[in-house]
Chain A
Amino acid sequence: MVSQLIVNGISIGAVYALIAVGFAIVFSIMRFSNFAHGGMISACAFIGFYFQRAFDPAPPFYITILFTAVCGMAIAILIDTLGYSRIRKKKSPGIYYFLMSLTFAILIEQILTVFYGTNMYGYPKVFQNETFMIGDLRFKIMNLVILGVSVAMLIALILLINKTKVGLAIRAVAINAEAGKLMGINSGMIVTLIFVIAGILAGVSGVFLGVQYSVYPAVGSIMMVKGFIASVIGGLGSLSGAIFAALALGLIEIFLTYFLGARETTVIMFAIMLAFLFLRPQGISGKITEDKV
C-alpha cells in the first residue's frame, strides 16, 4: 500500500514540478510572481483538447503536446507584450507586475468560463490499457509518460541554464539586467526567451492536467497555488529546489489524504507552507525572499 502511494505521489509530484518550475523561472529572472501562469495552464488544457478532437483519428499524443507547447509559448509572449512590456519600460514598482499578472489570470479564466465553461470536456483516451501491474504495484501508463516527459524537460532546462551560453546570459540578466546590457547581452530577447520557456512549460502542464484529470477553467489557478507552495518550500529562485519540493509535496499530499482525509489535508498543506515561511523563508535551498533591504 505504501509503495503504491509512493508511486502515485511521485506522479502528482512530477506535474507539480513542471508547474513550480514554470513559475520559478519567471521569478528568478524577472523577479515577480507570474500569477498568469495558472491561466496559461488552463488555456492550454483547452487548446490541447480541441486540437485532439479536431482530427479523426486523434493525432499521436506527442504531437498534441508539441502543438500545445507552441500555443503556450504564443500565449506567454502575448501576455508579456500586452501586459508586462510597457510597465517594464516604465520601470514601475513591482506591485503593478503582480496586479497585471493577476488580472490576466482572471481574464483568461473568465474567457474560458464564458465561452467554453458551459460544456464538459474530457480528453479522448490516449492509450489502450490505462494501467499495468508490476508485482503488487499498479502503474498508470499516463503517469509514467508524464513523469518521463517532465524529467526530460527539467533536465533539459537545467542543462540549458547551466551549460550553455544562452543559459549564462540568462543567469547574468537574473543578477543584473542593466549590467547585462552593458556587457552586450540583449536583455529584451532574454526576457522573451524566459517567457517562451514558461509558456512551453505551461502548455505541457496544461495538456497533462487535462489528460489526467479534467478540463475546466479553474484547473490552472488551483494547480498554480500548489506550484507556488512548492516554489516557496523549495526556495523561490531555485529551480532544483522547486523540483524537489514539488515531488515532496506530491508525496506528502497523497499520504496525508490517505491517512487523514481530504479536508484536513488542505488545511495542513497551507499550514506547512506558513510554517516554512516563519521558520525558513528562504526555503530549502536558501535564496531570495526579502525585499531589497
Chain B
Amino acid sequence: MSAYQTGLIIQVCITIITVVAVFAMTGLAGMFSLGQAAYMAVGAYITFVLYRELDISYFLTGILAILISVFLAWLIGAPTLKLRRDFFALLTVGFSQMVVAVILLFEKYTNGSIGFSKIPRADGLLWVSLLMTALIIFWIRNLKYSRFGRMCIALKNDEVAARSFGIDVYKLKLKIYILASAIAAFAGILMALRNRVITPDSFGWASSAEMQIFLFFGGTNSLTGAILSATVLKMIPEFLRGINLFGTSLQEYRTIIYCIMIIIVINFRPQGILGEVELTTKWIRKLFSRSKDKAVQKSENYE
C-alpha cells in the first residue's frame, strides 16, 4: 500500500473521529458547536510546541494537551451552555476565531501563519489511527446505548421534559461537551502527525462547519450514518479529481455540492440519509444467516 493510500486512510480516520465526537455532542445531546476545530488546534499546537520547547516525548505532551483541552472546554462550556442553542453556536465561532488569534499572537512559539513544521515522523500511524478510530466508535456506540446516552437523547428531544424527570441537563451537556473536546484534541494530534506541519488556517470555524454538515447528512440520530457520511464525503473528492465541469476540476465545487446536498436533505429528509438506521450486531448476524435461510424462506413464501 503506497504512502498516498495510507495517508488517505489516516485522513479518513481523523474525519471519522471528529464527526463521531460531533455526533456525541450534536446527535446525542443536541448541542450545535462550531468550535471543534479549535480544540483540534489546541491539541495539536500544545502537544508539539511543548515537545519542541521542553524536549519531552510527545506522548506526554499529548496527554497534557488533551487535559488542557478538557479544562478549556470546561471553562468555555460552563457559562455558555445555559444559553440558547444558536447563541451557543455563534459563541463557538467566536471562540474558534479567538484560538486562531491566540496562535498568531504567540508566534514566537507557534511560528504563526507560516506554520509549525517540526513535527516528527510517526511510524505505524496507520495502525494507531485505525485502532483509535475503532475504539472511539466503540466507546461512543456504547455511550449511545447506555443510561447516560439515553438521558442525553431525552434531553435533546425536549429539555424541559428531561428536566422534569430529574435529569441534570446542564451537567450532562457539560460532560458531553468536554468529552467531545477531548476527542477533538486527540484528532488534532493525529492530524499533526500525518501532515508533519500545522497552520492556523486549517482550524477555522469552516472546518468545524464541515463536520456538522457531514453529521447532518448522515443523520443526527445514527452513529453509522455519521461514520458512513464522513468516509464517503471525504473520499469522493479524491475520485472526482479527474472530472471537469466548466473547465475546472469538479473538486473545486465540492463544498458547493455538499451545501446543496445538505439543503436538499434538510428540506426533504431532515432526519438525514440514514435517519434512525443503525448498524447493530443483530443485523450483521441476520445478514449472514440470511443466505442460509434464503432457500428455506423462498420456498416458504410460495405457500
Judge A-B direct contact (beta carbons within 8 Å): yes
Which positions in A face B, CB cutoff 8 Å? 32-33, 35, 82-83, 86-87, 90, 92, 94-100, 102-104, 106-107, 110-111, 114, 225, 228-229, 232, 236, 263-264, 266-267, 270-271, 273-274, 277-278, 281, 289-293
Give chain B residues whose Cβ lies under 8 Å from the Cβ of A100: 263, 266
Q: What separation, in Å, do the CA atoms of A232 and B182 have in the docked complex?
A: 28
Give chain A residues whose Cβ lies under 8 Å from the Cβ of B267: 82-83, 86-87
B contact face: mostly helix, strand, loop, or mixed: helix
Assess the A114–B256 pair: CB atoms within 8 A: yes
CB distance from B152 to the nearest CB of A (A): 15
Give chain B residues whose Cβ lies under 8 Å from the Cβ of A97: 86
Assess the A263–B104 pair: CB atoms within 8 A: yes
In chain B, what residue has the closest Cβ to A106?
B259
Assess the B259–A103 pair: CB atoms within 8 A: yes
Give chain A residues whose Cβ lies under 8 Å from the Cβ of B79: 274, 277-278
Assess the B266–A96 pair: CB atoms within 8 A: yes
Assess the A82–B263 pair: CB atoms within 8 A: yes
In chain A, what residue has the closest Cβ to B26?
A95
Assess the A270–B83 pair: CB atoms within 8 A: no
- Picked from A98, A104, A263, the residue with its CB within 8 Å of the CB of B32 is A98
For the A-B complex with A103-B262, A274-B79 known, give 14 more contacts whose Cβ atoms are closer than 8 Å.
Answer: A33-B86, A92-B270, A94-B84, A95-B32, A98-B85, A106-B206, A106-B209, A106-B213, A111-B256, A228-B90, A277-B79, A290-B82, A293-B159, A293-B163
In chain A, what residue has the closest Cβ to B246?
A115
Q: Which residues 156-195 of B sit at the A interface, judged by CB distance below 8 A?
A: 159-160, 163
Assess the B259–A290 pair: CB atoms within 8 A: no
Closest 4 CB pairs of A and B: A107-B259, A266-B101, A270-B98, A33-B86
Q: What separation, in Å, do the CA atoms of A94 and B262 have in the docked complex?
A: 16
Give chain B residues whose Cβ lies under 8 Å from the Cβ of A32: 86
Known: A104-B263, A107-B263. A114 touches B101 (CB 8 A): no
Interface centre among A33, A97, A264 (most CB of B within 10 A): A33
Q: Pull 21 A–B residue pairs with CB atoms less than 8 Å apart, ordered by A.
A: A33-B86, A83-B263, A95-B26, A95-B85, A99-B266, A103-B263, A106-B206, A107-B260, A110-B256, A111-B256, A114-B252, A263-B104, A267-B101, A270-B94, A270-B95, A271-B98, A274-B79, A281-B83, A291-B85, A293-B159, A293-B163
The tally of residues in B whose CB lies under 8 Å from a CB in A reads: 45
CB distance from A216 to the nearest CB of B (A): 15
Q: What separation, in Å, do the CA atoms of A278 and B263 have in the docked complex?
A: 34
Interface centre among B94, B97, B209 (most CB of A within 10 A): B94
- Picked from A264, A277, A292, the residue with its CB within 8 Å of the CB of B91 is A277
Assess the A90–B270 pair: CB atoms within 8 A: yes
CB distance from B68 to the nearest CB of A (A): 17
| B128 sits at the interface (CB 8 A) | no
In chain B, what residue has the closest Cβ to A33?
B86
Assess the B216–A99 pair: CB atoms within 8 A: yes
Give chain A residues whose Cβ lies under 8 Å from the Cβ of B136: none
Known: A266-B101, A290-B82. A98 touches B255 (CB 8 A): no
Give chain B residues whose Cβ lies under 8 Å from the Cβ of A35: 90
In chain A, what residue has the closest Cβ to B30?
A95
Assess the A264–B105 pair: CB atoms within 8 A: yes
Give chain A residues whose Cβ lies under 8 Å from the Cβ of B259: 103-104, 106-107, 110
Give chain A residues whose Cβ lies under 8 Å from the Cβ of B83: 277, 281, 289-291
Give chain A residues whose Cβ lies under 8 Å from the Cβ of B216: 99
Q: What separation, in Å, do the CA atoms of A270 and B100 have in the docked complex?
A: 12
CB distance from A116 to the nearest CB of B (A): 13
Q: What separation, in Å, do the CA atoms of A266 and B89 have in the docked complex?
A: 19
